[in-house]
């Protein structure tokens, strides 16, 4: 390829970046507004005393489905934005994994009534992170575990503060361990969030259980997009005691 053609191709990509970002942002905002309208209407109906029992359950399902769609739209837009080569926007501020874990578990229980989710934590969960992004990360780990496991099994989320940072582990029993090797959209986006914070995610399996682990430093290092990061690791382990 000649330098003239190569330079033209590069300049075209650079020019299209802001356009693609604008289109993605505009489309995402429009989809989110529509979903927020559905969710707000559903919650208004749920507060109404005139709603009969059967209709109340139907509106709850509408609200829950709209919330799940909101999460899918968010993850799809994040994945599409990453493929344009644009940096994930972050707004780091002082926050705490204790609060993030509580919010993520509360949201997961609302969207999955009847599921048992155990939460625990030790040490200091303090960090300088983008609170909403790390909440999205932890929520995606829980959603993956809930989607891949039976309703009769429990999920556990445990976080721990160390001298170097904070790690979070989500344990679950996959319905079909052999089919749980793929990553999926939620974990792909979760890993991008972890990498943008200077951390990473690892997935490990035993014969009957699976674990998702994310390690985060307490402070975000110099920004790097990690577009050339190594593949997502899925590790086979011996049965845990």
- Per CATH, is 93-236 categorized as 1.10.357.10? no
Q: What is the pLDDT of residue 228?
A: 47
State the 10-residue block means of pLDDT for the chain, 241 residues long: 36 42 60 73 76 75 73 70 73 96 91 91 96 93 93 96 96 81 82 93 88 96 56 60 52
Largest Cα–Cα separation, the chain:
72
Q: What is the pLDDT of residue 12?
A: 30
DSSP assignment, residue 90? -
DSSP assignment, residue 232? P
Backbone angles phi, psi at 52, to 5 degrees: -70, 165
Q: What is the pLDDT of residue 232?
A: 59
Backbone angles phi, psi at 203, to 5 degrees: -115, 130
18, two tokens: 């802001």
Tell me the C-alpha to C-alpha distance, in Å, between residue 78 and each of 48, 152, 167, 191, 196: 36, 32, 23, 11, 12
Distance of CA 13 to the CA centre of its chain: 28
Q: What is the pLDDT of residue 45?
A: 79
């Amino acid at each position: 390829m000649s330098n003239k053609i190569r330079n033209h191709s590069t300049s075209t990509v650079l020019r299209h970046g802001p356009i693609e970002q604008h289109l993605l942002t505009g489309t995402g905002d429009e989809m989110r507004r529509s979903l927020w309208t559905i969710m707000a209407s559903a919650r208004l109906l749920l507060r109404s005393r005139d709603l009969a029992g059967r209709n109340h359950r139907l509106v709850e399902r509408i609200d829950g489905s709209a919330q799940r769609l909101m999460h899918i739209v968010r993850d799809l837009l994040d994945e599409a934005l990453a493929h344009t080569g644009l940096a994930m926007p972050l707004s780091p501020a002082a926050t705490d994994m204790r609060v993030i874990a509580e919010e993520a578990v509360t949201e997961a229980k609302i969207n999955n009534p009847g599921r048992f989710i155990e939460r625990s934590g030790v040490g200091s969960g303090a960090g300088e992170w983008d609170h909403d992004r790390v909440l999205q990360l932890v929520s995606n780990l829980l959603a993956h575990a809930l989607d891949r496991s039976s309703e009769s099994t429990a999920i556990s989320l445990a976080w721990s503060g160390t001298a170097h940072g904070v790690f979070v582990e989500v344990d679950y029993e996959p319905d079909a361990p052999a089919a749980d090797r793929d990553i999926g959209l939620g974990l792909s986006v979760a890993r991008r969030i972890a990498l943008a914070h200077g951390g990473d995610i690892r997935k490990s399996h035993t014969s009957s259980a699976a674990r998702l682990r994310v390690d985060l430093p307490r402070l975000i290092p110099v920004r790097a997009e990690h577009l050339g990061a190594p593949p997502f690791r899925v590790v086979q382990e011996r049965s845990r005691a």
